[in-house]
Structure 1
Amino acid sequence: MQERSPVEWALLPLKRYAQFSGRAPRAEYWWFSGATFALGLLLDGLDWALGFEQGLFGWIVTLALFIPGIAVMSRRLHDIDRSSWWLVAMLIPVAVIAFEIVQAELSGLGENADLSSMFFVALIAFFIIAVILLIFSLRRGTEGANRYGPDPYGSAEGQSDPLS
């Protein structure tokens, strides 16, 4: 396998925009995540400097990078031989939290609304699943082929993970 620069690793998920199959090594996931975070900080500063309170540029980029972000995380899970259903599990508490917030807003109480205990249970579930996904994303990928495809670094002999 040819060596890639950090910029090449960060751009690879954009080239694989909506590819949910296959595997993504740690380098691909983390360089993309780091670049996305840095871009977010830069755009937050730009939004602030231009007086956009709602973060116009940040929202545009968030929407543009949402699908490649989900796709690279899906492939990252595949690299450690885990199902992408872990990402779907994250949607359940997110949906409950969103429902509770919308319900509080619609009740007309706004910031003074009391959120139900279901909101806090969903919030705890969200953080637990987020920590599990973080731990999964830090793990070394399966050496050699697994049920999701060949090893992204080639054969197990003589290949090493650049983040080791």
Structure 2
Amino acid sequence: MDQFIDAYKLVVLKNYANFEGRLGRGAFWRFVLVNLVISIVLSILAQTFGVVFWLAYVLYAVGVVIPGIAAGARRLHDTNKTAWLLLIGLIPFVGFIVLIVLFAMEGDKQANDHGPVPIDVYDEYA
């Protein structure tokens, strides 16, 4: 469980708006999973208890937009691709699938144009 929290802290707190460098596949998907769980829990609480939790849900959703985009950019950098490919996500239906495939690709095993190989002590689980 610590690996998920560590990945979330790495993306949201330590690299809030960092669009430079690389992010390993394992850390990226752990961030996505934790973000999804938090969003689902807040959504359920909002539907059950009303306005206060809707406000919390909206604030959370707005708060993770920048780190989410930054994480996506760094994940694409890990595969030596440009962050501009994130714009593919604007294409309905197809864009989402293409981004999932790009995010799931294995990163470069050596330094690339965007920096050295990201160090992820949990990569054996990815």
Fold agreement, TM-score > 0.5: yes
Q: After the TM superposition, which residues 140-151 of structure 1 pair with which residues of structure 2 at under 5 Å, given as runs?
A: 140-151=106-117
Q: Which residue of 1 aligns with 2:7?
A: 9
CA RMSD of superposed structures (Å) = 2.4
> Would the aligned equivalents of 2:8 and 2:30 in 1 still touch at CA under 8 Å?
yes
Q: Which has the higher contact order (CA 8 A, sep 6+)?
A: 2
| Counterpart residue type for residue 8 of structure 2 | A
Counterpart CA distance in 1 for 2:65 and 2:114 is 22
The Cα shift of 1:48 comes to 1.5
**Would you tell me which structure has more helix in proportion to its own residues?**
2
User: 2:73 is matched with which residue?
Assistant: 74
Percent identity, aligned pairs only, is 29
After TM superposition, where is structure 1 displaced by more than 3 Å over at least 4 residues in a row?
A: none
Counterpart residue number, 2:49: 50
**1:73-112 alignment runs, 5 A limit:** 73-91=72-90
Matches within 5 A, 1:95-134: 125-134=91-100
Any conservation in 2 of the 1:25–1:76 contact (CA below 8 Å)? yes
1:31-86 CA-partner distances (Å, limit 9, x unpaired): 1110110001110121112223x933221100000000000000000001110111
Tell me which residue corresponds to 1:120. Answer: none
Q: How many residues align?
A: 124
Aligned partners of 1:81 and 1:142 also within 8 Å: yes
Which residue matches 1:31?
A: 30
Q: What CA deviation, in whole Å up to 9, does each residue of 1:78-107 have, x standing for no partner?
A: 00111011113434xxxxxxxxxxxxxxxx
Instruction: Please give the per-residue CA displacement for 1:127-148, whole angstroms capped at 9, x wherever unaligned.
Output: 2121111001111100110000
Who wins on radius of gyration, i.e. which is larger?
1
